[in-house]
Amino acid sequence: MNKEEILQIAKGAINKTIGEIIGNQEIELIKKDKGAIGQAIEQGLFGLKRNNLDKADFAEIGLELKVIPLKRDSKNNLVPKERMVLSIINYEKDFLFKFKESHVYEKNNCILVLAYEHNYIDLNKLNYVIKDAFLLDLNTIEEYQIIEEDYLTLKKMVELGNAHLISESNSNILAACTKGSKGDNFRTQPFSSTPAKQRAFSFKVGFIKKILNSKTRNQHLEYNLFDKIDYIIEKYQNINVIDYYLNHIRKDVTKKIPKNINRIVLDYWMKLEVPNYKKQLQALTCELRTCTVNKDGKIQESLSLNVINPLAIVEDSFEDSSEYLDLFENKFLMFAFKKVDKQHIYLEKMFELEFDKSEYETIQSVWEDTKLKFISDYQETISPNGQVKDNFIKESSNKIIHIRPKGVNKLDQYLIMNNTKSICKKSFWINNKYIQKKYDNSK
């Protein structure tokens, strides 16, 4: 079969359940391990047997098959549940070659992607439904140059004897994720005696999210986003945000100035100067955020992530969690607005907020502690005036991130501890002091 014939078989599986595809004889295979769903589909749909050969699944035509899970986000949209892992990195051999001569390119330059929806409520994996199937050809996508540059960045780190310092934050799309249940597996590296964590080449979630969107698969993207950001800062930094909002954006003069005026104005400027900026951010796994700085140079707020999914945090491991992806695969582009007084706010600068491996254990400890409380260890006390105090980690603990409410109001709640306790919806928040440090250290 050629690639198009194989693609048509895959497309024929869309809207079918995994049970319909593989048949009852494969139930035990699905229950074995994390990658078993993919292996079962490969065997049920294409007759591919599991093997340890380090080459593409359809090697004779240069086609690799990847089965990936999707999940529903807070807006009920289907998004990637995790990164796409490509192949284990061999520090001794993999970086001896240019990208197009490398093993990772040879095996993964053309990928048949088959995506199914993971369901946190229905635990019967046979009921999971195939949602999409398409070819990802690295040679025909706009992001090829970025992927090649990511490879060269990792190659350079290995050549400098710094494989042990590699983290996912070194890359934009092609990353080196840890591989192993606890990230405690190590390998030798050629130019240093220091063992390096076992890692695998992978595509970041933001890139997978972009290619899953059929409307943007063939759209042209110009990767000049950071040049445009510099231009926007230079052009608008002397303009009073409040005056600009009143004169250019507000349509109803009777309405009060919104609390998120900085974000509204920034989005307006971005759309004016970079019409497709949201797609570029997505492809580069970057997220645009704003923060307010008072006249003394102090950041006034912490930074929230999405509301914690009570079903997902109980089921997922830390490295498969949305919080890990947000913090270690994502980069926050922080636009700082200087508030001189109530009537004068100005765009000051942009600084990057990302986490490195030295902060991994601290953040993981907060996440694991939160998971335990969602499972069985949540405690609270209620004061005479009705104020609820819980035992989630607070900002005062100085652990980079903390937990606090992020619901619409006190009545916006969900169930935890196996549906036995109702609490206000929670989120992880990046500590104010941590953001301040990044702001102070930026140019």
What integer is the mean pLDDT of 282-297?
Answer: 90
Q: For residues 126 and 47, is the Cβ–Cβ distance under 8 A?
A: no
For residue 112, the cross-strand partners are: 65, 135
Two tokens, residue 94 = 């993999």
Q: Which residues of 195-225 are buried (b: 16+ CB within 10 A; e: fewer)?
A: ebbbbbbbbbbbbbbbbbeeebeeeebeeeb
Q: What is the pLDDT of residue 31?
A: 54
- Backbone torsions φ then ψ of 289, nearest 5 degrees: -135, 160
> What value does the mean pLDDT take over residues 194-213?
90
State the pLDDT at residue 215: 41
- Roughly how many angstroms between the first and final C-alpha of the chain, as a whole number? 56
pLDDT at residue 223 is higher than 60: no
Domains of the chain, CATH where assigned: 3-212 (3.40.600.10), 225-441 (3.40.600.10)
More confident residue, 218 or 378: 378
Distance, CA of 326 to CA of 206 (rounded, Å) = 10
Is the pLDDT at 224 greater than 70? The verdict is: no
Buried b vs exposed e over 303-331: b needs ≥16 C-beta within 10 Å? bebebbbbebbbebebbebbbbbbbbbbb
Average pLDDT, stretch 236-246?
Answer: 95
Cα of 397 vs its chain's centroid, Å: 26
pLDDT at 52: 63
d(CA 163, CA 190): 9
Residue 258 has a pLDDT of 93
Mean of all residue pLDDT scores within the chain: 89
What is the spatial distance between Cα 42 and Cα 274, in angstroms, rounded to a whole number?
41
Whether the CB-CB separation of 65 and 48 falls below 8 Å is answered with yes
The neighbour count for residue 434, using CB atoms within 10 Å, is: 20
Tell me 15's DSSP state: T
- How sure is the predictor about 349, in pLDDT bands with cuts at 50, 70 and 90? very high
Mean pLDDT, residues 208-213: 84
Rounded CA gap, 28 and 18, in Å?
13
The CA distance from 156 to 48, in Å, is 36
User: pLDDT tens digits for 142-169?
Assistant: 899 999 999 999 999 999 999 999 988 7
Q: 24-38, 178-192, 203-217, 259-273 — which one is most confidently predicted on average?
A: 259-273
- Judged against a pLDDT cut of 50, whether residue 119 lies above it is answered with yes
> In Å, how far are 11, 109, 150, 279, 309 from 215, measured between CA atoms?
17, 22, 26, 11, 28
Residue 45, both tokens: 């749909």
Give me the mean pLDDT over the 104-130 stretch.
92
Predicted local distance difference test score (pLDDT) of residue 219 = 42
Given a cut of 50, whether residue 216 has pLDDT beyond it is no
Q: Distance (Å, rounded) from C-alpha 84 to C-alpha 82?
A: 7
Residue 33 has pLDDT above 70, yes or no: no
Residue 238 CA: distances (Å) to CA of 162, 234, 259: 42, 8, 21
pLDDT computed for residue 212 by the predictor: 84
Q: What is the pLDDT of residue 323?
A: 93
pLDDT score at 217: 42
Mean pLDDT of all residues in 96-121: 94
Q: Is the pLDDT of residue 418 over 80?
A: yes
Overall average pLDDT of the 417-443 stretch: 94
What pLDDT does 220 receive? 44
Residue 371: is its pLDDT beyond 70?
yes
**Averaged pLDDT for residues 304-328:** 91
| Of 354, 329, 330, the residue nearest 435 (C-alpha) | 354
- The SS3 assignment for 12 reads coil
Q: Which of 398, 395, 403 is nearest to 368 (CA)?
A: 403
The closest alpha carbon to 3, from 141, 143, 134, 144, belongs to 134
Is the distance from CB of 108 to CB of 138 less than 8 angstroms? yes
pLDDT confidence of residue 282:
79
Amino acid (one-letter) located at 162: N
Tokens 């995994």, residue? Answer: 18
- Kind and range of the H or E element at 404? strand 401-405
Residue with the bigger pLDDT between 188 and 121: it is: 188
Amino acid at 38: G
Q: For residue 222, what pLDDT is reported? A: 47
Share of the chain above pLDDT 90, in %: 64
